[in-house]
Structure 1
């Protein structure tokens, strides 16, 4: 019998972004929703906020991290962070968090047009954050933002960035279809390419 596989569910309801236009939660609402997601629905992980957004988000993150730590669930609490040197990692650490979901550029277009950087420069910046996270005992997952367009238009860039990051201790590589452009067959095709090239990455 083959090795069993587990599907992990990470809920992003609490991270106020495009998917929740016009919606924001106060800290106590965020804590209540986190408790329901983890204790009632049994989701594996919850992304509770973006780092460095506001004092309100910081207070909510502190409240949730304190609650989770007392229930041995702190490893299930994640915060979206940015390639900004030490700033996001320090913000998460001060809030009591242990996991950063690091937002990196998953397409050459985003790297060059949004950041005005070469792939090599972006990789160096990512490694600075990853190394600082390791020094502060913060676990790192990586989002390859716009990965779907990256696989369509610049797969060599996707491979370059993943090659550079695969041995750094990053726990998960998250591959979003940021703009919702892929059909199911394309998802299968591109995921197969990634799995074949990186069979040991999570």
Structure 2
């Protein structure tokens, strides 16, 4: 999904921008907006989230990273392609935490890392008082759809090329503080 936006079909160009944006720290593609799963100091997975409390700096810093990397004409093209694509995606509502960029290194898939990152996102949602996790998946991405369905997500609606999936945020289970006693 990011190659058409940032590389206009050129995966090396998209990767170069994403590498640049990651090191800018802030904005949608900066490292401060992502959480990583590591194994022996090697990143094996990552995830990000969006919600209604990100503030004005979030969009401004995303735009700044695009305008620093691309010349003016190319930056405008990136913004146009992004608008066309994101027009098919619904942003999270006030009660939702939107999940994005969940990716697991191919050698580390099917080992519980994706599920662990979703559990972490559920904890983030609780901290932000959100009641629902939401994400969009391309309708052709059957492995991702099946993974999310197995993680308790349900298909909420189809829009264009994407399917929005949602899952209720489970209440936090408190551990017992010793054996139960009758009163």
TM-score scaled to structure 1, two decimals?
0.31
Q: Higher Cα Rg: structure 1 or 2?
A: 2
Higher strand content, 1 or 2: 2
TM-score scaled to structure 2, two decimals?
0.33
Higher helix content, 1 or 2: 1
